Amino acid sequence: MALRELPSSLRRMALRDARPTAAIASKCLRRYASGEAVAAAPARGEVPEDFRDLESESSLFTAFSPDEKIKAYDPIKRTQARKRELPPSRYQYRSPRYYRGPLHPHQPPPKSDPSSREFIPGPFSYTRLEQTYQSTIAPDLMTLAYVHKPPGTVTIPKSDRLRTWDDSSPYHKGRPKRGPRGPGETLRLIEQDINWRNIPKIEEVTVHSYIKGALEDSAYLHVAGMLLLSVTGVRPTVHKARHSEGRFGLRKGTPVSLTCNMRGEQAYDFVDKCINLVFPRIKDWPGIAGTTGDSSGNISFGFTREGAILFPEVEINYDMYPPKMIPGFHVTIKTTATSDRHARMLLTALGVPFYGKLID
């Protein structure tokens, strides 16, 4: 009975002595490591001398026989049991090119799906700056700007910032509320107290360069594009002049400027490069102007031609670019902070010095 309970291969091994060894060798020339292990394994319970010191739970003692799995795998049977035929193996799902609304039967997959057209692979690395931010800077900023609200504090609701319509016309029904008064006025962001969910962090970095020489010669634009591409790792977008401007020699429709948008690891990498490699090497650099910022958490600064040369990607093959065509560029760091002072606090913690009067 005991013999029958053991797996088939084990049984074979048990009966091994009765047969001539040569016959077995001719039968199965293949060598299975697991089979040998089974052969080495004695019956359950008793442990041989050599294995006494080892742990009792070991893969050497498990009586695993590959035969059962192999027998259970019957592709023909599986194929016949299938109700519908599978699509051919080369078939690839392609998400629809256009989004045709929520009621259309063909819905595109989510952006995180590799088959989506908007899928962006990555991140491929966990940058040093991001790691430091996550482990050190974020908790410290949270502690630094902690505002205590005792339990039971009554918050007085503020009046609505958007103006409502007086219901003088039946068409006012269902209209969205009106913005603030005055031409070009928009609602400003309100600074929120920092808590564990809204610690300011770098969201996006935009590099922008206006190339003056591109008005006469497109070579300036192409060289600048190559330089920005190598510095940021993102292919720049070309922008055309929107208006003719005689004083600058601008004609409407002339391609004049380039921008690159970086997010995630690329943005962190770029900021890291700026802070640790480029800023310390710029001659007589006072820091970033304290007056920068658009009062909603975006900080801008610029690199001159000399600063652009200091980037390691440019420096390493400086000869690739005609020297007089190397451009300077502007950098805008967009943070999740909703006020300049919070954004500045984040950048200071990352190691960016500010000079002059600080303006919020």
Alpha-carbon distance values, 252 to 98, 129, 212, 245 (Å):
32, 42, 14, 8
Distance CA 144, CA 141 (A): 5
Radius of gyration of the chain (CA): 34
Phi, then psi, of 31 in degrees rounded to 5: -115, 120
Four-point Cα dihedral 331, 334, 339, 340, nearest 10: -20
| Tokens standing for residue 256 | 């004049």
CB 96 to other proteins: min, Å? 16
Query: ∠ at Cα 118 (114, 119), nearest 5°?
Result: 30
Q: Do 48 and 106 form a contact (C-beta atoms < 8 A)?
A: no
Give the nearest distance from C-beta 322 to other proteins in angstroms.
5
Burial 167-179 (b: 16+ CB within 10 A, else e): eeeeeeeeeeeee
Shortest Å, Cβ 284 to other proteins: 12
SS3 170: helix
The residue (of 11 and 117) whose beta carbon lies closer to other proteins is 117
The secondary element (H helix, E strand) that includes residue 340 is helix 340-350
Residue 239 φ/ψ region, left for φ over 0, alpha for ψ in the -120 to 50 degree band, beta for the rest: beta
Q: Which is nearer to other proteins, 107 or 195 (CB)?
A: 195
CA dihedral 37, 40, 46, 48 (to 10 degrees): -120
First to last CA, the chain: 87
Closer Cβ to other proteins, 129 or 262, answer by number: 129
Give the nearer residue to other proteins in terms of CB position, either 99 or 126.
Answer: 126
Minimum distance, C-beta of residue 77 to other proteins, in the bound complex (Å): 18
Q: Which residue's CB is nearer to other proteins, number 34 or number 132?
A: 132
Nearer to other proteins, 67 or 140 (CB): 140
Question: Which of 107, 276 has the CB closer to other proteins?
Answer: 276
Whose Cβ is closer to other proteins: residue 41's or residue 343's? 343
Distance CA 131, CA 127 (A): 6
Query: What six digits make up the tokens of 158?
Result: 């503020």
Q: Which residues bind other proteins (CB under 8 A)?
A: 86-87, 89-92, 112, 114, 128-129, 131-132, 134-136, 138-140, 142-148, 150-151, 195-197, 199, 219, 222-223, 225-226, 229, 272, 275-276, 290, 319-322, 325, 341, 344-345, 348-354, 358
Q: How far is the CB of 136 from other proteins (least distance, A)?
A: 7
Shorter beta-carbon distance to other proteins: residue 262 or 325 = 325
**From the CB of 356, what's the least distance to other proteins, in Å?**
9
What is the C-alpha to C-alpha distance for residues 286 and 275, in angstroms, rounded to an integer? 13
Least distance to other proteins, CB of residue 119, Å: 10
C-beta of 241: minimal distance to other proteins in Å?
A: 21
Closest contact distance (angstroms) between CB of 310 and other proteins is 19
